[in-house]
Chains A and B, each alone.
Chain A
Amino acid sequence: MSNDLQTKQFHTEIVGNNQGSAAQMNEVKSGPRIIDPVFTLEDVSVSYGKYVAVTDVNLQIPSNDITAFIGPSGCGKSTLIRTLNRTNDLIPGASVAGKVMYHDADLYDSKASAVEIRRRIGMVFQKPNPFPKSIYENVAFGPKVNGRPKKSELDEIVEKSLRGAALWDEVKDRLGASALGLSGGQQQRLCIARSLAVQPEVILMDEPCSALDPIATLRIEELMMELKKEYTIVIVTHNMQQAARVSTYTAYFVTEVNPLGDLRTGKLVEYDETKKIFSTPSDPRTEAYVTGKMG
């Protein structure tokens, strides 16, 4: 089962988001050249039943870097990030069209196992959601379901993960205490530690700081800068300063409304290096957004 992805060699030509495709698709005005991307999205649309939440997304996400999705509320950022590890499978009626490639494997291939995909591609949610268990058990949960580690191995994984999430020093004396007694910021770092414990390659973060105070937010941002050395991070944020501070690449989405005004669909407006998005964006809509004239 753990070999689902490896054994299945899916060879797709990787479509670069450079001049060539930019000319064809005016959604992506220009795109960064990304070598050896972790994710490649081709014409991706995600729907809830008949409702198309986000459509025509083409982008590539680099490894060992932070990529940010920004845009006004409701433009499909969460929807899109959740398709990257098939969390949307859990919502009845949700469906994905187009191609979502993870390295050279199609995430939505019928032979791909969603369980294995989620083990490799972790997720941290908007609201800290520790299990109602001890701090130790929270971190140990993933390793336990994914294998049968010995107690000593488990202790080691727990310590390493908590250190990795910059939480170890604060909790090492109370690993047996309930995770629900931690502060919001600590809970969110615990959730990060919990996902590190299954040794993912990618960590998806959907507005991980929106429920936190500025100091806790800063700590998570520092942590992300540390984590990107070893992990690929995709973050959804509606805090533009945050995107500017932490990310290397930024994708800007909007909600487009059809002329009749009865259909709203999320679209990718522009995807580029963060410094370009925030200094010289190609699309006037991006400029309006990042300079605060809109959204």
Chain B
Amino acid sequence: MGEVKVGHKSVLLSPSPHLSRRLNTQRVARYTMLLATTMSVIVTVGIVASLFPTAVRTMITIGTQIIGISWAPLFEPPEYGILPLFTGTIFIVAIAMLVAVPVGLAAAIFLSDYATFNLRRVVKPILEILAGIPTVVLGLFGLYVVNPLYVEKYWPIGEPLAYSALGAGFVTGILIVPIIASVADDALSAVPRAMREAAYALGATRREVASKVVFNAGLSGVVAALILAFARAFGETTIALMVAGSYPKFTANPGDPMMSLSAFIGFAGIGDAEVGSNAYNTIFLIGAILFLITLIFNIVGNRIIAKYREAYE
């Protein structure tokens, strides 16, 4: 360093103590977040690692018997036809969606485009409370109200029984209505007011604005709401077990008892399944199947959402 020339300014670029502290904080924050992310990846990998070896081994033992219509792995001789669990799951989820999609979407459109500010302020928290009702309470409602008072009385096909897929689907539908309504309302309410004003300025009625403009513009969020609700219905165990029963009947009559994939895990997982027993092995198998199906739904769902995003944003 020679002499500093007149007119030159000496500049200090190293951080001041205050800036050093801020930089440290942000470094700590970064590592914390990295750790959290890594943990969730490790847990996922852990689940796969603990689930799949047993699942695959069980699958190999069962072989083609799995494509059968009788599921009784805990009996002697065991039967491994998995189709009843699939039909049980499909019926319960389909009935739930049939109930919840129209109601949930209508509620979402009502909240975003018809309700006054004050009404919305009251209804939104109620929805969130509804979404928080313990599933065991809904299960009791299904078992002691829906099944005996409605399904048994009015369902015309087959013999009336204490359990039914119809009741379970209906009650699961009640469970997911608030999810659809709340998440879809968030999506629709987030559609800019400018979009609504543009449509009104062209002589559209409120219904046309809501259904042709707002719904379209918020579609990716609406689809996300439906996927979320679907996943919730698909994984719901308590209601399925309490209301549809624990009998994996292979039937097309929704008034009959049925068993879903998750209900089987809930059912077989309650007793103490010895390592290596049939119960133990099949729980792992069904668990892995649930995991895979959920994974596929997530991937497909994200694709669909991304597609709408691309087209509309």
Contact = CB atoms under 8 A, between A and B. Distances in A.
A81 to B, nearest CB: 12
A195 B311 contact: no
Nearest to A91: B193
Contacts of B205: 115, 145
B313 A119 contact: no
B60 interface: no
B117 A92 contact: yes
B183 to A, nearest CB: 19
Interface residues of B, number: 24
Given A141-B212, A180-B313, A129 B203 contact: no
A104 B264 CA distance: 74
Interface residues of A, number: 29
Given A131-B213, A132-B311, A132-B313, A118 B198 contact: no
A142 interface: yes
Among B192, B193, B196, B201, the one with the most A-chain Cβ atoms within 10 Å of its Cβ is B201
Interface string B199-210: 111111100100
Nearest to B117: A92
B194 interface: yes
A130 B198 CA distance: 8
Contact of B216 (A85, A87, A127, A133): A133
Contacts of B193: 90
A156 B261 CA distance: 56
A208 interface: no
Q: What is the interface of chain B mostly: helix, strand, loop, or mixed?
A: helix
A133 B248 CA distance: 47
B188 interface: no
Nearest to A141: B202
A127 B116 contact: no
Among A129, A142, A178, A194, the one with the most B-chain Cβ atoms within 10 Å of its Cβ is A129
A131 B202 CA distance: 12
A92 B193 CA distance: 13
A141 B201 contact: no
A122 interface: yes
A215 to B, nearest CB: 24
Contacts of B208: 145
Nearest to A203: B201
Contacts of B180: none
Interface in B210-238: 212-213, 216-217
B313 A194 contact: no
Interface string B163-204: 000000000000000000000000000001111111111111
B311 A115 contact: no
Interface in A149-197: 178, 180, 191, 194-195, 197
Given A92-B116, A145-B203, A191 B198 contact: yes
A53 interface: no
A178 B313 CA distance: 9
Interface string A104-138: 00000000000110111011010101111100000
A198 interface: yes
A18 interface: no
A146 interface: yes
Contacts of B313: 132, 180
B114 interface: no
A194 B202 CA distance: 8
B216 A145 contact: no
A125 B203 contact: no
Nearest to A2: B203
Nearest to A204: B201
Nearest to B213: A131
Interface of A: 85, 87, 90, 92, 115-116, 118-120, 122-123, 125, 127, 129-133, 141-142, 145-146, 178, 180, 191, 194-195, 197-198
29 contacts: A85-B201, A87-B197, A90-B193, A115-B205, A116-B203, A118-B201, A118-B202, A118-B203, A119-B203, A122-B201, A125-B198, A127-B194, A129-B192, A129-B198, A130-B198, A131-B195, A131-B198, A132-B311, A133-B216, A141-B204, A142-B203, A145-B202, A145-B204, A146-B202, A146-B203, A191-B198, A194-B202, A195-B201, A195-B202
Interface of B: 116-117, 192-205, 208, 212-213, 216-217, 311-313
Given A129-B195, A145-B212, 8 more contacts: A90-B193, A115-B205, A118-B203, A120-B203, A125-B198, A141-B202, A146-B203, A178-B311
